[in-house]
Structure 1
Amino acid sequence: MTKLIGYARVSTRPQSTDRQEADLLAAGVRRDDLYVDQGVSGARVSRPKFDRALDALEVGDTLVITTLDRLGRSTQNMLDFAQSLRDRGAGLRVLNLGGGNVDTSTPMGSMLFTIMAALAQMEHDIKRERILDSVSKRRAAGKNLGGRPQRVTDSQIRSAIHLVEGGDPAAQAARDLGMSRATFYRRSRALSD
């Protein structure tokens, strides 16, 4: 008997797979045959639940995903993956590809999958290019690039340096600031440069 094996993934822990799971269940995937990776990048080669979903596939089964980007980022990787499924006698069904289902077990579905995989990679590459361009422009303009804000101000570090120069232990000054001694020394050197 053939089965539908569902796979859902989000890249970061705060994201939710609720919508993907609902779409997969509505497409006929049983809850027991649904595999979910939480906080796993599509760029990673090994994804624990994805690997388990592939292990569950048998001849005649179909892997069901909601969108193409759940598989990966590279056109070649996606095409190789679709071919490896065909070689195993399994199919791939993408629910939200071009407004409808695409089943790679048919010639038309295979062609659409190939085109959409190329477009997905192009979209990813364009997005990456825009981000890199934005970062370089912000850096050139001397603007803040974001990142984690420093909890301890330079003024607090200077005050702690004066205490240490007055005889207080550096370890105690660092503890009072809520940082390691190594971080205190690093920040102190940065201020004196």
Structure 2
Amino acid sequence: MTKLIGYARVSTRQQSTDRQQADILAAGVRRDDLYVDHGVSGARASRPHFDRALDALEDGDTLVITTLDRLGRSTQNMLAFAEELRSRGAGLRVLNLGGGDVDTATPMGSMLFTIMAALGQMEHEIKRERVVDSITKRRNAGKDLGGRPRLITDSQIRNASRLVEGGQTAAQVARNLGMSRATYYRRSRVLGPHPEPSSGETLVSDGAN
């Protein structure tokens, strides 16, 4: 007897699969035949419950998902999964593909799945290019890119300068602070007089902030 196998996934444990599960159950999947991965990225080749869902599929069964990106992030991976399903005699049903319900068991569904997978990959590449372009423009304009805030306080820099004055090398003090020697010198200059590099220490800027 053929049956429907459902699969739902979210990339982080803070996200919920409730909506996906509700849609899949409404499509006729029994709760015992619904597999869910929490906190698993679509970029991972192995997803525990997805693997179990595939193992449960038999000839004539259909895997049901809500959207195409539940299968993976790349066109190659998504089409590979579709081909694996076909080789098992199983189908794929996407509840919201191109605004409607698409079943790859039909010729039209199979063609549309291939087209939409390619478009999804293209959209992902375009978004990535936009992000990279935005970061490059902000960096070239000298704007703050955000990231982790500076954790080393001015007081720590002053204390480090006292250690250098006491005989410790600037390189060692900078390492203890978790920063480069060039960064230490820049920070200490802002705060006032600082020890110059001792004999044998050549100050080479590494561009660190």
Q: TM-score range by the shorter chain?
A: 0.7 to 0.9
Note the residue ranges of structure 1 that are not aligned, 5 or more in a row.
Answer: 168-180
Are the equivalent residues in 1 in contact too, given 2:8–2:21 (CA < 8 A)? yes
Q: Does 1:52 align with 2:52?
A: yes
CA RMSD in angstroms, aligned pairs only: 2.3
Q: Which residue of 2 aligns with 1:11?
A: 11
> Number of residues paired by the alignment?
180
Q: What are the residue-to-residue correspondences of 1:46-125 with 2, within 5 Å?
A: 46-125=46-125
Are the equivalent residues in 1 in contact too, given 2:174–2:180 (CA < 8 A)? no
Q: Which residue of 2 aligns with 1:173?
A: none
In the TM superposition, residue 54 of structure 1 has moved relative to its aligned partner by 1.0
In the TM superposition, residue 136 of structure 1 has moved relative to its aligned partner by 0.9
Mean Cα displacement is larger for which, 134-143 or 101-110? 134-143
Amino acid in the other structure paired with 2:53: A
Greater Rg over alpha carbons, structure: 2
Note the residue ranges of structure 2 that are not aligned, 5 or more in a row.
Answer: 167-172, 186-204
* Partner Cα distance (2:59, 2:159) in 1: 68
Q: Which residue of 2 aligns with 1:191?
A: 184
Label 1:150 to 1:4 Cα distance change in 2 as closer, same or farther (>3 A): farther
Are the equivalent residues in 2 in contact too, given 1:157–1:184 (CA < 8 A)? no
Q: Which residue of 2 aligns with 1:158?
A: 157
Q: Which residue of 2 aligns with 1:178?
A: none
In the TM superposition, residue 163 of structure 1 has moved relative to its aligned partner by 6.2
**Counterpart secondary structure, 1:39:** coil
**Counterpart secondary structure, 1:36:** strand
Percent of aligned pairs with the same amino acid? 74
TM-score w.r.t. length of structure 1: 0.82
String of CA shifts for 1:13-53, please: whole Å, max 9, x gaps. 32222221221121122222222222222111111221111
Q: Which residue of 2 aligns with 1:177?
A: none
Label 1:139 to 1:46 Cα distance change in 2 as closer, same or farther (>3 A): same
**Counterpart secondary structure, 2:8:** strand
In the TM superposition, residue 139 of structure 1 has moved relative to its aligned partner by 1.3
Are the equivalent residues in 2 in contact too, given 1:63–1:93 (CA < 8 A)? yes
Higher helix share: 1
Are the equivalent residues in 1 in contact too, given 2:4–2:64 (CA < 8 A)? yes
Q: Which residue of 2 aligns with 1:25?
A: 25
